[in-house]
Amino acid sequence: MSRLFRDIAGGPLCADGSVVCIGAFDGLHLGHQALVRHAVARAHALGVEAAALSFEPLPREFFAAASPPPRLGPVRAKFEGLRGLGADVVGLLRFDARMAAMSPEAFVEAVLVQRLRAREVWVGPGFRFGHKRAGDLSTLQALGREADFVAGEIMPLVVDGERVSSTHIRNALVAGDFAHAAKLLGRPYAVSGRVVRGQQLGRTLGYPTANLRFGGKVPALRGIYATRVHGIGDVPWPSVSSFGTRPTVGGVEPLLEAHLFDFDSDLYGRRIEVEFVARLRDEKKFDDLPSLVAQMDLDAAQARAILDATQTPRYETQTQDSA
């Protein structure tokens, strides 16, 4: 069972040492997976624990708090994915003003040396850290020589001539190119979470939904989609989903609402995963509820047709737990 920690301060978490990998890990795409797998393999070779280190909020979210950039997945999905890849310890460090002001030297001493007893540290291409991004790989290597650990960088992962990155995946999702996003992720794009109670307006309109929150983050998607819901049966359940703020009814928080076709059981409290198959349209504000329902009828019919004509693609599983 992976151990989670959030704080810089505290005693050693890996008394016998660790191999650490550091990254944003948003979406846990193929490049992230290669980095974590490398660290886990090195940890096994040395007989120590594997530690995956990230931040919440991500630094770019902290510095752009008024207009945070979109995320591929919620925080829980990151933790579950890192655990599934074999990380014994997962650090989701609180990125706040104190963290932003830390020098590279202070970060290395407090986290890598004191908390994790690092013996090796692995990062991805273009890694920067510390106050005003002053530290890079060479800084990390120099500090490692003083603290008795080694640091290295893994090569960028390229798929079909394109470097795998969260930015490229976000662009593919916005364009509705879910097949391309899946190639870079190593799996179909999906959002998982526990079903929460909503306003239950959909039920009164003839479209009951299973609702998932996105952990207060800004999602990379917004609109209406043909989807499949995993986690309620032996096969994915066809559905149509809305991902947005529900402007017709005055919503504010981004919410993923999945209407499962021909399904009437209670899903409250269940953990499900909504896989995105095709984009149908933008989210829009309707003048009244009858107009909204008429459009929902069209969306449902279009989603059914797409899903009936689309086979579930197979991708090599890249994590032991779905992210």
3-class secondary structure per residue, 153-167: ECCCCEECCEECCHH
> How high is the pLDDT of residue 200?
67
Instruction: From residue 244, give the alpha-carbon distance in Å to each of 213, 247, 258, 286.
Output: 10, 8, 12, 14
- Determine the Cα–Cα distance for residues 281 and 223; give it in Å rounded to an integer: 6
Q: Where along the chain do its domains lie?
A: 3-157, 188-309
- Determine the Cα–Cα distance for residues 86 and 50; give it in Å rounded to an integer: 7
| Mean of pLDDT values over 211-215 | 92
- Determine the Cα–Cα distance for residues 104 and 136; give it in Å rounded to an integer: 9
Other CB atoms within a 10 A radius of the CB of residue 218 amount to 13
Q: What is the pLDDT of residues 58-75, one digit of tens each?
A: 999 999 988 999 999 999
The DSSP H or E segment spanning 227 is strand 223-230
- Determine the Cα–Cα distance for residues 300 and 311; give it in Å rounded to an integer: 18
Which class would CATH give 188-309?
mainly beta
Tokens representing 208 are 């009951």
Q: What is the pLDDT of residues 107-161, one digit of tens each?
A: 999 999 999 999 999 999 999 999 999 999 999 999 999 999 999 999 999 999 9
Residues 96 and 63 sit within 8 Å (Cβ to Cβ): no
Which distant-in-sequence residues (6+ apart) come within 8 Å of 290 by Cβ? none
pLDDT band at 322 (very low <50, low <70, confident <90, very high): very low
Which CATH superfamily does the domain covering 3-157 fall into?
HUPs (3.40.50.620)
Average pLDDT score over the chain: 92
pLDDT band at 317 (very low <50, low <70, confident <90, very high): very low
